[in-house]
Amino acid sequence: MQPLLKISGLMKSFGGVNATDDVNLEVKKQELHAIIGPNGAGKTTLISQLCGTLKPDAGTIEFEGRNITTIPAYKRAGLGITRSFQITSLLLAMPVLNNVALAVQARDSHSFRFIRAAHKISRIRDAALAALEQVGLQNRASDNTATLSHGEHRQLEIAVALASNAQLMLLDEPMAGLGPNESEKMIELLRELKGTHTILLIEHDMDAVFALADRISVLVYGKIIATGTPDEIRSNDAVRHAYLGEE
């Protein structure tokens, strides 16, 4: 089967640092593929190239067999790639619902519509509320986004990704900064999404990664040193040596 996402020979360097060094990676449909790696391994750089905010120096990115390497960021979302942000980057001045409604509106059609009040369009409103309900934030819909807790912000990030109805979700450290209880909730949430969505998960939380991932790739100094099932990764010598820090 053709992979949903295929990355070949991707290179990106900043000055003398190779943040992405000949990365080859395939993400199959419906799988949850995790990328792990120590700090500074180039995980976020990789995501940024996938969603188009950074241009690779060399290599290709294919999505559904189509070369998207040079397609601008806003068009990639239209093709079905969405991302969540490592550092919460929500619209804090807006109500919670609007954050999600903007995602719905984006996939709905163009938004050069000037007359009708956005909050009165029930098609968009309902879809946004449904996404909020899926992550358990339906009671917070009309609250100001700035008043939500950090954990709720992470949940809202997921709701936004859900509402954009993407085929491929790039989740950049959804567990970052969550307490044990909140992490538990987030893992549960991602488990539900798994199977209905293709997810490329970048995460530091090893418990979460090994509990959720179908396959794991290990990124060290911009290079992928191993890809395999959680069991394979756990027993891979190179990984243990380079990343898990075991002798």
Partner 1 sequence: MGTMSRKSLVTLFVLAALAILPPIFLWAGNAFYLDLATRLVILAIAAVSLNLILGYGGMASFGHAAFIGIGAYAVGIPAYHNTYGEFDLVASYNGMFQIFLAVGITAVFALITGVICLRTKGVYFIMITMAFAQMVFFMFVSLEVYGGDDGLVIDTRSEFPLINLDNPLHLYFLSFGSLVAAMLIVRTITRSQFGMVLQGSMGNDERLVSLGYNTFAYKLTAYVISGAMCGYAGALLGNFTTFISPEMMGWTRSGELMFMVILGGAGSTIGPVIGSALFVLVEELFSSYTIYWHLPFGIMLLAVVLFLRRGLLGVISGSGKNEGH
Which uninterrupted H or E stretch holds 57? none
Decide whether 91 or 176 has the Cβ nearer to partner 1.
91
Q: Tell me which of 17, 58, 67, 75 binds partner 1, using CB under 8 A.
A: 75
Q: Tell me which of 77, 200, 202, 219 binds partner 1, using CB under 8 A.
A: 77
How many Å is the Cα radius of gyration of the chain? Answer: 18
C-alpha angle 43-48-54 in degrees, rounded to nearest 5: 125
Among 193, 197, 169, CA closest to 83: 169
Decide whether 111 or 139 has the Cβ nearer to partner 1.
111
Query: Quick check: 22 and 11 in contact, CB under 8 A?
Result: yes
Tokens 């950074």 belong to 54
Question: How many CB atoms are located within 10 Å of the residue 41 CB?
Answer: 24
Decide whether 1 or 115 has the Cβ nearer to partner 1.
115
Decide whether 66 or 116 has the Cβ nearer to partner 1.
116
Please report, as residue ranges, which positions from 103 to 162 form the binding site for partner 1 (by CB under 8 A): 103, 105-107, 111-119, 121, 124, 144, 160
Question: How many CB atoms are located within 10 Å of the residue 72 CB?
Answer: 10
Question: How many CB atoms are located within 10 Å of the residue 85 CB?
Answer: 18
Q: State in angstroms the smallest separation of the CB of 116 from partner 1.
A: 6
Q: Tell me which of 16, 65, 66, 93 binds partner 1, using CB under 8 A.
A: 93
Q: Which stretches of the chain bind partner 1, using CB under 8 A?
A: 51, 53, 72-78, 82-83, 85, 89-95, 98, 101-103, 105-107, 111-119, 121, 124, 144, 160, 164
